[in-house]
Amino acid sequence: MSGRLKGLTGLPGPGGVLRLLVCVAAVLIATLLWFEGLFHSPLMDPRRQTERKFVSNYVRANTPDSEKERLLADSYWRRYRDVREDAYWGENGPMGIWGPRDHYRQHGRKEGRIFRPVTEAPDPEAEKTLARAYWDRYPNVRGSPIWGENSDLGILGPRDHFIHIGRFLGLTWGPPAPPADGK
């Protein structure tokens, strides 16, 4: 028997058998530890899979609709030229349509900026008349870089100002007042 062991271990006698047993034990222990790690790894742990599914569902449920986000981003960029032209939050910035939301959360809310869609006019011709009447009543709005005549909102500026600011200040929205002489 020692001849067979000598061929396997390269050493004669009981020292060779001991080395063989140590090698076999080491391989068995390593294999058991590997399986232990495999079965307790995130790949095999059902709790991890449940957590992953929970996080995935949470993100999906709380991610704003991209079409709605596009509308909000376009509205914010139309109101605030400085944000639109910004290298980070702007139209060409790395954040894309998520830039305005991030800007609003970090700075805009504290600055009193508006993160709502711009209300489109149902009738553009009537809107021109209403806008001019509002600008005539409130010259400070006419000169505003956000809601004024030269703003990016154009004739939508006065309605936007009234909806988000003017009505809370008691300003008047509507057609121009009739002439005082009654004509």
Question: Each residue of 97-110: pLDDT tens digit?
Answer: 889 999 999 999 99
State the DSSP code for 97: G
pLDDT over 60 (residue 144) = yes
The angle subtended at Cα 155 by Cα 154 and Cα 160, nearest 5°, is 95
pLDDT over 90 (residue 167) = yes
pLDDT over 90 (residue 56) = no
pTM higher than 0.75: no
DSSP H helical ranges for 40-180: 46-62, 66-79, 81-84, 99-103, 109-111, 124-137, 139-142, 156-161, 167-169
* pLDDT at residue 61, as a whole number: 66
H/E run at residue 142: helix 139-142
* pLDDT at residue 10, as a whole number: 59
Q: What is the mean pLDDT of residues 99-127?
A: 93
The angle subtended at Cα 167 by Cα 162 and Cα 171, nearest 5°, is 85
Residue 17: pLDDT band with limits 50, 70, 90:
confident
Distance CA 80, CA 164 (A): 15
